[in-house]
Amino acid sequence: LNGSFAATQPQRGKAAFASQSGALGEVVLATAESVGLGISQFVSLGNKADVSGNDLLSWWATDPQTQLIMLYLESFGNPRRFASLARQVTREHGKPILAVKSGRTLQGARAASSHTGSLAESDQAASSLLANCGVIRCNTVRQLFDLGLGFANQPPPLGDRVAVLTNAGGPGIMATDACVHAGLQMAEPTEETVAAMAALLPPEASVHVPVDMIASATADQYRGCTAALLADPGVDALLVLSVSPVVTDPTAVAQGIVAGIEDGLARVSQKKPVLACIMGRGKDERGMAVLRDAGVPNYPFPEGAVRTLAAMASFERWRSLEPGRPVNYDVDRPRAQAVIDRTRRADRQWLASSDATELLAAYGIDTAASRAVDTPEQAIAFAEEVGFPVVLKLDVAEVVHKSDVGGVKVDLRSAGEIKGAFWDLKESLAQQGIDSIKYLVQKMVSGGRETIIGAVQDAHVGHLIMFGLGGVFVELMRDVAFRVHPITDADAERVIRQIKGWPLLAGHRGSEPVDVARLEEALLRVSQLIGDFPEIAEMELNPFVAQPTGKPSMAVDARVRLDDPNALGDRGPRSSSGGMGPSGTR
């Protein structure tokens, strides 16, 4: 049944496609026909007046004719419902979801006040939502079809060890570089496999991956080497490349590849994906037709094939990961509610530093000892109580980045230095038009590693939880990772290890590792706080100083902004478990 305006009738297959763009529908169907991608169902959603993308996900999850779902999205509709359904489809039913999400920019992100808000652009929120539920995001429609061909026709690899077989050195090197860049490993065949290929090939051929059979490679050599590599226990996937010289019959080569696949897989119990790259379309159309009929996807260049293998391997890794569970701690929710109510009554959105500290304390998140002060004498008394050195900060809720206005004086080691810092701050801030000045004095924290823990509310997907290396250079380095709220204990563990700076936290070059368990706990406590108080629009602990085990890790500075109480509608308290299942208690 074809109820669309499309003139193209694609061949029947395993892939279901939903598009929010009606104009894109004809292009999609025509492209599917031209590349040989079979379609089980195609739906043009338009404005989703009756049927939504979530309705289709629910249907396709159990549809026996659909084994792959491809989406062109402009919006998520109900993002939490989308995430829940997508997890069921990918994790429980094992069906990959490939998506192109348009609308990659949000100009409003420029107005974000905190580091977390400016780093969490709308496109990052969409990517985090898709990654959280196992959806593979494609940057272009071309990439969507490249990946779709692989997922629809080949089994997923059970590992990331890729063998490359070629008759030309250049494409073999291109494929190897692409594999390494994509995080795949180059397979190392056994001595038996190497010997079997050496017996088939001339002496000048290279029998180590990438296996270069040289330009004179025959169909029989393609067959023998393909079979040997697929039968090797150290190979999880095979990429076969061919650049046909004048004397080579491309059809015979393709037939040799297909026969080699059958021979190799007959010798092992494990299914392994095989992708091909027959370069030079004008001459090799007949050979590509042989591969298509055998269900072997063909790509014009090695990079597209490698991206597909990397996506297939990544999907299998995601499915094997434990999802974890949310964790609820014993907290003082009434105390936190009192802080928020006090800020609301003052008709402010940003919490004062002392209020932010109290909010964190209510949820068991340690902060550096501090006190609101009005005079140098009060600051000196605090320093004598907790010990020098101390830090003097501007404590005006409307000034978010204190260092930008010279509002921080660090490493004050005497009463005289405290008095001088008061004078310098008052004079400097007065020159900038800041007359109503309040101060916060804080015990100076030294050592450890500066990290950042944040949360920000996205208009389309809800709250995001952020972790990364912190300090004043966080926006410059941008070494951060995001998860969609609520996070589980497994999410907390993985997001810390996802950043590039993870080796610094783990103990780089003999340095003492930080207490990672405390970092994970801090992330989970922030997630619980956001779940109990969704009116928190932005929250940032920067820096959160992570110390080695046995020393207290704590937030040195905290910024919290409440959203407009009339902007979110009915926002009643919700469980930090987010309806995902049973949660533990610590």
- Model confidence pLDDT, tens digit, residues 140-192: 889 999 999 999 999 999 999 999 999 999 999 999 999 999 999 999 999 99
pTM over 0.85: no
Q: What is the pLDDT of residue 99?
A: 94
Confidence band, pLDDT 50/70/90 cuts, at residue 583: very low
CATH code at 12-153? 3.40.50.261
More confident residue, 250 or 91: 91
Phi-psi region of 514 (alpha: psi -120 to 50; beta: other; left: phi over 0): beta
Over the range 511-544, which residues count as b (16 or more CB within 10 Å of their CB) and which as e? Answer: eeebbbebbbbbbbbbbbbbbbbbbbbbbbbbbb
pLDDT at 315 over 50: yes
Pinpoint the residues of the chain covered by CATH 3.30.470.20. Answer: 446-585
Q: Which residue type occupies 427?
A: E
Pinpoint the residues of the chain covered by CATH 3.30.1490.20. Answer: 369-444
CATH 3.40.50.300 fits 369-444, yes or no: no
CATH architecture of 446-585: 2-Layer Sandwich (3.30)
Class of domain 161-320: alpha beta
Cβ(265)–Cβ(273) below 8 Å: no
Q: What is the pLDDT of residue 45?
A: 82
Q: Report how far residue 469's alpha carbon sits from residue 501's, in angstroms, rounded to the nearest whole number.
A: 7
More confident residue, 121 or 27: 27
pLDDT at 112 over 50: no
Residues above pLDDT 90, as percent of the chain: 63
Give the residue-averaged pLDDT of 557-561.
92
Extract the tokens encoding 504.
């610094």
Pinpoint the residues of the chain covered by CATH 3.40.50.261. Answer: 12-153, 161-320
Q: Report how far residue 243's alpha carbon sits from residue 215's, in angstroms, rounded to the nearest whole number.
A: 8
Confidence band, pLDDT 50/70/90 cuts, at residue 574: very low
Q: What is the pLDDT of residue 420?
A: 92
Q: What is the SS3 string spanning 364-378?
A: CCCECCEEEECCHHH
* pLDDT tens readout for residues 323-371: 899 899 999 999 999 999 999 999 999 998 889 999 999 999 999 999 9
Q: What is the pLDDT of residue 109?
A: 39
What is the SS3 assignment for 314? Answer: helix
pLDDT at 224 over 90: yes
Query: DSSP secondary-structure letter at 254?
Result: H
* pLDDT tens readout for residues 263-304: 999 999 989 999 999 886 555 577 888 999 999 999 999 999
Q: What is the SS3 string spanning 501-527?
A: CHHHHHCHHHCCCCCHHHHHHHHHHHH
Q: What is the pLDDT of residue 282?
A: 53
Q: What is the pLDDT of residue 259?
A: 97
More confident residue, 432 or 575: 432
Q: What is the pLDDT of residue 103?
A: 67
